[in-house]
Amino acid sequence: MMEIRFQTKQESNKRQQEDFLKLSKVERIYSFLRLMERVNQFPVKNKVNKNKDNFLTVIDRNK
């Protein structure tokens, strides 16, 4: 069942923090790992590397 709440962002953040702190230390770690897994699945715009076919010449003037 889905619950809909009408609250401010501050209230929402506070509730999320309280819910997270109620978890045991191990549950917090697993929760964090699940979050990282979901973030990696989030679609992102591919960055184009404009310099990928270029090369760089470095002149070390200290020698």
**pLDDT at residue number 63:** 67
DSSP per residue over 10-57, as a string?
Answer: HHHHHHHHHHHHTS-HHHHHHHHHHHHHHHHHS--PPPP-TTTT----
What value does the mean pLDDT of the chain take?
A: 87
7-36 tens-digit pLDDT: 999 999 999 999 999 999 999 999 999 999
